[in-house]
């Protein structure tokens, strides 16, 4: 028979471990092509947007908008390098219009 979980303050010990475990999880990507491209290019696009805007919040918004707008174009382009150049040009365009 399994022993009941012990209490740590107001939280059961097992629940506390579950919360800590959830907080340490990394972003899991699906096996779709777009999710793989996001996982691959997000750090580079975000870094470029940070340097372009000097504001981390604005860089996150630019990065998110760039990926959302290029999602539609993914069906027409078959090469990953083309996708990367479309992403960067989208960030540049959005950064210049935001400035």
Query: Would you give per-residue pLDDT tens digits along the chain (99 residues)?
Result: 566 656 555 555 555 555 544 444 444 444 587 888 889 999 999 999 999 989 999 999 999 999 988 887 777 776 778 888 888 898 888 888 876
Query: What pLDDT shows up at residue 60?
Result: 94
In whole angstroms, give the CA distance from residue 22 to residue 85: 35
Bridge partners of 11? 8
Among 1.10.20, 1.10.3470, 1.10.1740, 3.40.50, name the CATH number for the domain at 27-98.
1.10.1740
Backbone angles phi, psi at 11, to 5 degrees: -115, 135
Q: Where are the domains of the chain?
A: 27-98
Q: Distances from the Cα of 50 to the Cαs of 8, 12, 21, 45, in angstroms?
A: 42, 41, 30, 9
Query: What pLDDT shows up at residue 99?
Result: 65
Q: What is the sign of the dihedral through the CA atoms of 84, 86, 88 and 91? A: negative
State if pTM tops 0.75.
Answer: no
């Amino acid at each position: 028979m399994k022993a009941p979980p012990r209490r740590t303050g107001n939280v059961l010990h097992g629940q506390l471990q579950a919360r800590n475990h959830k907080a340490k999880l990394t972003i899991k990507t699906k096996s779709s092509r777009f999710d793989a491209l996001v996982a691959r290019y997000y750090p580079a696009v975000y870094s470029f947007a940070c340097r372009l805007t000097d504001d981390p919040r604005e860089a996150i918004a630019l990065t998110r908008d760039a990926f959302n707008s290029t999602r539609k174009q993914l069906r027409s382009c078959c090469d990953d390098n083309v996708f990367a150049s479309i992403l960067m040009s989208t960030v540049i365009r959005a950064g210049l219009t935001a400035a």
